Structures are given as C-alpha cells and as structure tokens.
Amino acid sequence: MKASLRLLNAVAFGRSSQRSKSTSFIGLGRMGQEMAYNLFSKQFAQSKDSQFVVCDAVLRAFFIKQFPGAKIDIAGTPEEATMTSQTIITMLPSSPQVLSVYNTGILPALRMLPEELTSKTLCIDSTTLDVDVARSVALDVVATRSFMVDAPVSGGSSNGAKAGKLAFLVGGSDTAFKRSHPILENMGQRIIHCGPSGAGLAAKICNNLILGVQQIVVGEAMLLGTKLGLDPAVLSSVVGSSTGNCWSISVNNPVPSALPEQSPPCEREYEGGFATALMLKDMGLASNVAALAGCPIPLGEAAEAFEHPNLAQKDFSSIYLFLKEMMKAGKAVKVDVESP
Ligand code: NAD
C-alpha cells in the first residue's frame, strides 16, 4: 500500500461517523514526530476504518516520507484538522504557537461545528506553555462543549518520545482525563492526573525548574572535579551512587566519556536531546508563574540568566561548555540576582 499523500478537503459536515474515528496530530517537531508515530503504529496502522491525520507548519511532508506505506493523511491547516477529526493533539513550541493554532484554527472550526460533533471532541495539548494561557484556551474550548486537557510530557525525544516511555502530566476534568488516558497510553508509560485545567503544566514547570538548576550544578561539579584531577567516569560513578545522584549526572552527564555505557548528547557534540532554548523558555515560564504567585525562586532566576547564543539549539547539558569557556577566560561565573 502506498503512502497516502492526498490533501484533505475541508470535510466533516455530515460525516460525523468518519470524524469520530479520526485523530489529528498537529506539531511534528523533535517530540511530536516520535509521539505521532507511536500513536499511529499502536492505534491506527492495523485499523482499516480509522484515520490518522498530521499537520505541521513545516514538517508534514518530511514526516510522511519517513513512513512509506503508512496510510497517513495530511491536513493543510489546524482548522481542517479539526473539521476532520474528533481527537486533536497539539505538540507545539510554546504559548504564542498554541494561541495562534487554537485562536485562528481549532476554535473557529469548533465554533462552526454542530454541538452534536463538538460535544464529542477532545483536544489534548502536550506543549509546555504558560499555565494561564493554557487555562484560557481550555475555557474557550470547553465553551464550545468540547473537552480539553493540558498534557505536557516529561522525558526526552529519544529515551522518552521515541521509546514510548513519556510521562504525561495531565490537567483537566475527570471526564476529559478518562477520555485522554487510552490515547496517551500509546505514547507514554505514566499518565498522571495532576488536577484541574492547568495542573499538568504547573507540575511540568516545577519539574523543569529543578532540572534546569540541577544540570548547571552538575556541570559545575564535573568541571571542578576534573580540574582537581578526577577522572570524569570515576566522579560520575561516585556521585551516581551517593547523595548527589540525579538524572543530570547519571543519564544526561555533560562530560564525554563520563558514562562509558551510555550515549548522552555530549557524546554527539550535544546534538539532539532537549534544546537549551527550550529549557530557557521553561525557566522563563517558571519565573513568570512564580512572580504571579509571589513565590521566591532565586536559584531558578540565576539559572535563567545563563545564556549563550551558540548553544541555543544544543542539548541544555552544553552549559558545561559555557562553564569551561568561562574558566578558560579566567572569569568566575557570577550571575546577578537581586537580593530580597
Ligand atoms: P520543535 O520546535 O522541535 O517542534 C515544534 C513543531 O511545531 C515544529 O515542527 C513546528 O513546525 C511546529 N509548528 C509551529 N507552529 C505551528 C503552527 N502554527 N501550525 C502547525 N505546526 C506548527 O519542539 P519540540 O522539541 O518537539 O518540543 C515541543 C514541546 O515539547 C515544547 O513545548 C517543549 O518545551 C516540550 N518538550 C520538549 C522536550 C524535548 O526533549 N525536545 C521534552 C519535553 C517537553
């Protein structure tokens, strides 16, 4: 069977039975393409009457080419995807893209559909974005009688998304959570209902606040240890079996050869993994939401101030290179954080 490359015409009206068996995946970047493929393989590849549709501002043709023979359809716009599918999953960079895709595509389409169709529609947004933006989008979706969950993910592109081992941190009503669970199970291992709308994002942002700080201090310790003459593999093994153990030392170690049996991004010149720009975005989300909540996060603010234009697209463990550069230049790394 040849890959289906036909463009979909705006459909859906009067075709509710087909729409009920259709799922659209919007956003096929580093994470989305792996998640979409797992969902397609596990839920759609063997089914003759269901339909899987993909949509991306740039990468849709690239996605289809990767899976020759797979019956995957393409939607030209998020509006078309919504007309076609009862389940719509989004995996976009951040708040501006989610606002754009929902406000100019998904919501106008939902508002055009009859209630008989909107009341069966489920929107799952897996983007990491601002909690308040997510809540306001969800309110607009729910106003059309559709369901929505925020379901950001924890886990990287290869160990998590590609391996189907993501953790989904879900915010939404009990009904929306129950409906999203069997879909998310195709892409992840742990599906956790964190609370009402926005709760999944709140949990995700807190997790990444810890991770962003953790990766920097691991870089500092690895640099200091090697400067003091320790073998990076010995230091990693010691810390990995001591109280300093954490994901950044034992999985995402920033020093080549420190984890001889693994292949973290530092072994590939820090390519792949989780881009520094995305981590900085998440640290920004944490400082915004912390400011609104009146909650002090001095270490988070210090971590957010670490920025190096050449490292934006490299894995965020490349902060180690930045620290090395500072050491070579003979500068103490000093980050200004306002005193309380
Ligand atoms: P990415 O930039 O690789 O992918 C985003 C995709 O969205 C791109 O393919 C882009 O073309 C598409 N897009 C943008 N605007 C669009 C629009 N208007 N219509 C349709 N498509 C559009 O990002 P990613 O690494 O896949 O991350 C996605 C989200 O997951 C981010 O919020 C990120 O913080 C989060 N996340 C990423 C990782 C990771 O390891 N990469 C891990 C956990 C969570």
Q: Closest Cα partner for 191 from 205, 171, 170, 175?
A: 170
Tell me, in angstroms, the distance from the centre of ligand 1 to residue 26's CA. 10
Burial class (CB in 10 A: 0-12, 13-18, 19+), 330: exposed
d(CA 64, CA 53): 10
Cut 0.95: pTM above it:
no
Q: What is the pLDDT of residues 263-286, one digit of tens each?
A: 999 999 999 888 999 999 999 999
Q: Would the CB of 45 count as within 6 Å of ligand 1?
A: no
* % of the chain exceeding 70 in pLDDT: 92
- The CATH fold assigned to 204-329 is N-(1-d-carboxylethyl)-l-norvaline Dehydrogenase; domain 2 (1.10.1040)
Specify the CATH number of the domain 5-197.
3.40.50.720
Neighbours of 259 (CB within 10 A): 21
The gap from C-alpha 118 to its chain's centroid, in whole angstroms, comes to: 26
Q: Would the CB of 186 count as within 6 Å of ligand 1?
A: no
Q: What is the pLDDT of residues 205-257, one digit of tens each?
A: 999 999 999 999 999 999 999 999 999 999 999 999 999 999 999 999 999 99
Q: Would the CB of 100 count as within 6 Å of ligand 1?
A: yes
Q: What is the pLDDT of residues 132-161, one digit of tens each?
A: 999 999 999 999 999 999 999 998 887 899
Angle, in degrees to the nearest 10, between helices 232-240 and 199-227? 130
User: What does the pLDDT read at residue 68?
Assistant: 77
* % of the chain exceeding 90 in pLDDT: 79
Tell me, in angstroms, the distance from the centre of ligand 1 to residue 97's CA. 9
* Atom of ligand 1 minimally distant from the CA of 166: 43
Strand partners, 166: 188
C-alpha torsion sign, points 294, 298, 303, 309 = positive
Residue 169 has pLDDT above 70, yes or no: yes
Select which of 21, 42, 48, 204 is catalytic.
Answer: 204
User: What does the pLDDT read at residue 336?
Assistant: 44
Amino acid letter, residue 155: G
Residue nearest to atom 12 of ligand 1 (CA): 27
Choice between 329 and 176, residue whose per-residue pLDDT is larger? 176
Stretch(es) of the chain classified as CATH 1.10.1040.10: 204-329
Would you call 204 a catalytic residue per the annotation?
yes
User: What does the pLDDT read at residue 332?
Assistant: 58
User: What does the pLDDT read at residue 10?
Assistant: 46
Stretch(es) of the chain classified as CATH 3.40.50.720: 5-197
